[in-house]
Amino acid sequence: LSGGVDSSVCVHLMKEQGYDVTGLVLHLSAAHESTVQAAQEAAQAMEIPLIVAREEEWFQREVVIPWAESYRRGQTPNPCILCNPSTKFALLCREAKALGFDTVVTGHYAGIEEREGRYLLKKAKFLPRDQSYMLYRLSQEQLSMLHLPLAGMSKDEVRAIAAQAGLPCACAPDSQEICFIPDNDYPSYIEERFGKMPEGEFVSPEGTVCGTHKGLLHYTVGQRKGLGIALGRPVFIKSMDPQTNRIYLGDAGEEFASGVLLRDCRWIPFEEPAQPMRSGAKIRSMAKEAAAQIIPLPGGAARVLFDTPQRAPAPGQSCVFYDGDYVLGGGYIESQIL
């Protein structure tokens, strides 16, 4: 229970169906004080007990440190994808079991379906709100305990339910920032806690040094603006090398990749695919699906070959596979296939 409209409506819906509901809010950093306060106000208004789980050290170990280290290596990690399996849902399921509850309910926009002993993850019916991309790394145990009441609803429908129920959060704005960095200034956050990144060299498409960058974590693959480079033509970041601390630039039109190599893949309908397969693939949360061939490799890796080249897949981001409405799995982008 965050105190926002989505989780509050979930409480309302579960209570209406006669369930015994207890709220749980995770206090994972100093930035979560306002979330705890909002959850306390919501729990009081809806007359349910609330548990505050304070797990700052866990969050630092499982999310913040790996996320920051990934950025410092010139990658572009998504903190929510790191957090969901290792922290948020791990802690929710742990607390639910300890208290004797059967089910964990959250306000995520996605669906769960059981089929032949496997728990499947589905897209939300209202696709503009779909969050299945963020949940692809959840384990079978986590999916088996999870109920997502908002799977078939739009945000407008959720707000209408909140307003009809008289919930104080009905008109609350959606959160847009990283939950533990209120101002969204992640480079400053990382440098304040892990040390300032050294400057390095920009390398032009011709292979010559053409400028100085502020440190790898200030940039991402595919970036065009804010480079401070004047070559007389548009350029973009083609790749970053943490070994040499160099950023390599490319000319416009060269930013498309024919595929990606993935590491640490997770699969949902099966333990791992027995052979290559066709699927839709998304290289970032808001990207359109691209038709692709998925080729499993040893050690949890995979090669993804797109039918149509995709713009600037960024190492550290996730490539997630879909079969229609169902999430097949995904993995972290290690490198591009040009």
Is residue 92 over pLDDT 90?
A: yes
Task: Evaluate the CA torsion angle 79, 81, 84, 86 in order and state its sign.
Answer: negative
Supply the mean pLDDT for the chain: 96
Longest distance between any two alpha carbons in the chain, whole Å: 68
- Provide the percentage of residues in the chain whose pLDDT is more than 70: 99
pLDDT for residue 173: 76
Short-list 249, 264, 306, CA closest to 283: 306
pLDDT at residue 175 in the model: 74
The Cα–Cα gap between 161 and 262 comes to 41
Beta strands 246-251 and 200-203 are parallel
What number of CA atoms fall less than 13 Å from residue 73's CA on the CB side?
15
Active site residues: 83, 179
Residue appearing with tokens 């309302």 = 12
Average pLDDT over residues 6-30: 96
Mean pLDDT, rounded, for 186-202 = 96
Predicted TM-score of the model (pTM): 0.95
**Residue closest to 121 by CA, chosen among 297, 11, 270:** 270
pLDDT tens digits, one per residue of 243-289: 999 999 999 989 999 999 999 999 999 999 989 999 999 999 999 99
Contact in structure between 42 and 12 (CB atoms under 8 Å): no
* Mean pLDDT computed over 167-194: 86
What average pLDDT does this structure show over 181-186?
A: 89
- Among 292, 237, 225, 300, smallest CA distance to 259 is for 292
| Three-state secondary structure readout of the chain | CCCCHHHHHHHHHHHHCCCCCCEEEEECCHHHHHHHHHHHHHHHHHCCCEEEEECHHHHHHHHHHHHHHHHHCCCCCCHHHHHHHHHHHHHHHHHHHHHCCCCEECCCCEEEEEECCEEEEEECCCHHHCCHHHHCCCCHHHHHHEECCCCCCCHHHHHHHHHHCCCCCCCCCCCCCCCCCCCCCHHHHHHHHHCCCCCEEEECCCCCEEEEECCHHHCCCCCCCCCCCCCCCCEEEEEEECCCCEEEEEECCCCEEEEEEEEEEEECCCCCCCCCEEEEEECCCCCCCEEEEEEEEHHHEEEEEEEEEEECCCCCCEEEEEECCEEEEEEEEEEEEC
Would you say 237 and 221 are in contact if contact means Cβ atoms under 8 Å apart?
Answer: yes
pLDDT at position 176: 66
Report pLDDT digits (tens) over 49-82: 999 999 999 999 999 999 999 999 999 999 999 9
**Domains in the chain, ordered, with CATH?**
5-164 (3.40.50.620), 197-251 (2.30.30.280), 256-337 (2.40.30.10)
